[in-house]
Structure 1
């Protein structure tokens, strides 16, 4: 389904929820290599199990945050062929609960605001990353996305 920017106004307040996605140890290790963060709590399951309160390795907070793109792509409406969406940044990012490696997460996205910004339309999404089986979410954030014409 393709939308024009004006259609986004009708989506304000509607919650979109992605499917469950597993954060595997392989993914965590690859992310550690990319950002050069090899802290044992992320890459050494035995040591993390014995030396941390987490019971094993945990995903990097920035890995969980970066997966908003993956999770959001599952549920956010497509744009017209002549439009692109650009990550404009975040307000109020909080890492609330660590994600144990092997856990499944899903994203909750609620469009709260659409504003005209020179060059496009600025969307503000209230986002939460839920951890399967956990009451407390992994993170909460206000995500800003800019739609611009090509």
Structure 2
């Protein structure tokens, strides 16, 4: 498991092989509705359409959107030395339905760390799972690009935090 210490830019290579697991949380129907409203899914889904899907089904893109929340919350990035950019996804599978109100958990393992320019490209193997489920709800290979923090004058932070 990853330590609770802040992860500075120079610490990133040490993340290789580390695993993070969140506590069980619940995405309630209110949050599900907010996602549908924000992504405009609610504009084309009629009440009849909703009957075609399991009650409370969480949209796949909603699950993907949770990855950023979990990575930001459960890896204690030192924001004075590094910030991250979403570099993309190599593989995503929605293995089994995930529904609102049922406890879910996030788990990720850092499988690759490669130097890239002034920062690092990190590969996370991510899993979202429901409590007591035989199969995960979603698996994803997510790439994040961690870069040195830049001060307002445009200068990168050095390893000792100086600018």
Per the normalisation by structure 1, the TM-score is 0.85
Q: Which structure features the higher share of strand residues?
A: 1
Asked whether the equivalents of residues 71 and 106 of structure 1 are also in contact (C-alpha less than 8 Å), the reply is no
The unaligned stretches of length 5 or more in structure 2 are 151-163
Q: Which residue of 1 aligns with 2:88?
A: 89
Tell me how large the CA RMSD over aligned residues is: 2.1
Distance 1:4 1:24 in 2: 34
The unaligned stretches of length 5 or more in structure 1 are none
Secondary structure of 2:56's counterpart equals coil
Distance 1:61 1:30 in 2: 15
Q: Which residue of 1 aligns with 2:123?
A: 124
| Distance 1:47-1:93 versus aligned 2 partners, 3 A rule | closer
Asked whether the equivalents of residues 23 and 102 of structure 1 are also in contact (C-alpha less than 8 Å), the reply is yes
> What pairs with 1:1-150 in structure 2 (closer than 5 Å)?
1-38=5-42, 40=45, 48=50, 51-52=52-53, 54=54, 56-79=55-78, 81-149=80-148, 150=150
Q: Which structure features the higher share of helix residues?
A: 1
Relative to structure 2, which stretch is displaced further, 6-15 or 109-118?
A: 6-15
Relative to structure 2, which stretch is displaced further, 65-74 or 85-94?
A: 65-74
Relative to structure 2, which stretch is displaced further, 65-74 or 4-13?
A: 4-13
